[in-house]
Structure 1
Amino acid sequence: MKRLIPLALLAATALAGCATAGKQTDAEKLAFYRGHAGEPVKDFQYFGRLNGWTPLGDGALAVWTKPSEGYLLELSGPCQDLDYAMAIRITQFGSRVSARFDDVVPLGAGTASIKIPCRIQTIRPLDVKALRASQKELREAAAVERDAKS
C-alpha cells in the first residue's frame, strides 16, 4: 500500500497539469487508474450486471460491480471498438470473472458486426474511495485555474 501512495501522487500531479490543458489522453487516464489499483487478483465475483464501466483506451477498462467496488481490467491486446461501444458483455463462469480465461465483448451500434472477444489479462481491484477523492481534487484544481485565468 505504501508503494501505491507515491505512484498515486505522481499520477495525480501529472494529470493535474494535463487536465487543465485539455482532454486527457487514454494513456493519462490509464496511468491515473493504475495509480489507484491494488495488486492483481485471479478473479472477482460477478452476477451479470455492472454498475458502470469506463474505457481506458483500447487495452484496458474500469468496471464497477457496485457503486463502491470496481476493478481495472487490462486486456491481452487491443480491443476493437472498446472506445465506441455503448455497452459491454463480460463472460464469466460460476459468477466469477477470471483473468486469462474470461473476455470483454464491446456491444452497440458503433461496433463491428463481428463481435471479437477481448481476453482479460489482469484484474486489479480499485481503491474507489481514493480514486473519487483524487478525481474531486483534479476537478477543483481545474476550476481554480480557470477562475484565475478569467
Structure 2
Amino acid sequence: MKGIHWTLAAGIAAAALLAGCASSQTKAEKLAMYQAHASAPVKQVPFFSPQGWEEIDRDHVLVTMRPTEVYLMRLNGPCLDYDNGAAAMLISNTAGVIQPKFDRVSFPNSSMSCRIEEIRQVDMTAVRDTKA
C-alpha cells in the first residue's frame, strides 16, 4: 500500500497500568469515564509509534501515542472481535497523521480491518484524578 505506513502498537507499561486500574469497571463504565474526559472529535492526530492500546468495548480502543497523548478511537466494525488475543495492533497513517474516516486499524494474522470513525484526545490526568 503505497503512501500508507503500518506500525505495530504493542501493549506496554502505560496500557498495563490503565488496564489494571480499570479492571473492576464494566466496559460501559470505562467508556463513560474516558468519554467524560475526552476532547471534542479531532480531524487528525500526529502519528507516532504507539506505545500501547486497550480495548474498551467492541467499538472503542484507547491508544497511547506518547505518555501525555492518549486517544479514544471509535471504530466502524467488529475488528476487535477478531484480534485473536493479539498483543499488537496495526494502525494505518498517511504522511505522518491518522485521520478519522480514512485510516484503519487491524491485527496481525487477521484479514479484518476497521475504519477509524472518530478520534478524541483523553485527559489522562483527569482520569487518574477521578480514580484517586
TM-score normalised by the shorter chain: which range applies? 0.7 to 0.9
Q: Which of the two has greater helix per residue?
A: 1
How many residues are treated as equivalent by the alignment?
110
Q: Give me the identity figure in percent.
A: 36
Q: TM-score, normalised by structure 1?
A: 0.66
Residue 115 and residue 65 in structure 1: after superposition, are their counterparts in 2 closer, same or farther (change >3 A)? same
**How much has 1:114 moved relative to structure 2?**
3.3
**1:129 shift after superposition:** 1.3
Q: Which has the larger radius of gyration?
A: 1
C-alpha distance 134-39 of structure 1, shift in aligned 2 (>3 A) = same
Match of 1:97 in 2: 98
Moved over 6 A (4+): none
2:19 aligned partner: none
Secondary structure at the aligned position of 1:133 is classed as: helix
Counterpart position of 2:122: 126
Q: Give the distance between the partners of 1:91 and 1:84, measured in 2 at CA.
A: 20
Which letter maps to 1:125? Q
For 2:56, the aligned partner's letter is: L
Amino acid of the residue matched to residue 94 of structure 2?
A: F
Match of 1:13?
Answer: none
Amino acid at match of 1:119: R
Q: Tell me what 2:72 maps to.
A: 72
For 1:62, what is the secondary structure of its paired residue?
Answer: strand
Unmatched 5+ residue regions in structure 2? 1-21
Structure 1 portions without partners, runs of 5+: 1-18, 108-112, 138-150
Is the alpha carbon distance of 1:34 and 1:101 closer, same or farther for their aligned partners in structure 2, counting shifts above 3 Å?
same
Following superposition, the deviation at residue 32 of structure 1 comes to 1.2
C-alpha displacement of 1:85: 2.5
User: Residues 57 and 84 (structure 1 numbering): CA distance in 2 closer, same or farther, change over 3 Å?
Assistant: farther
Aligned to 1:56: 56
Partners of 1:134 and 1:83 in 2: CA distance: 32
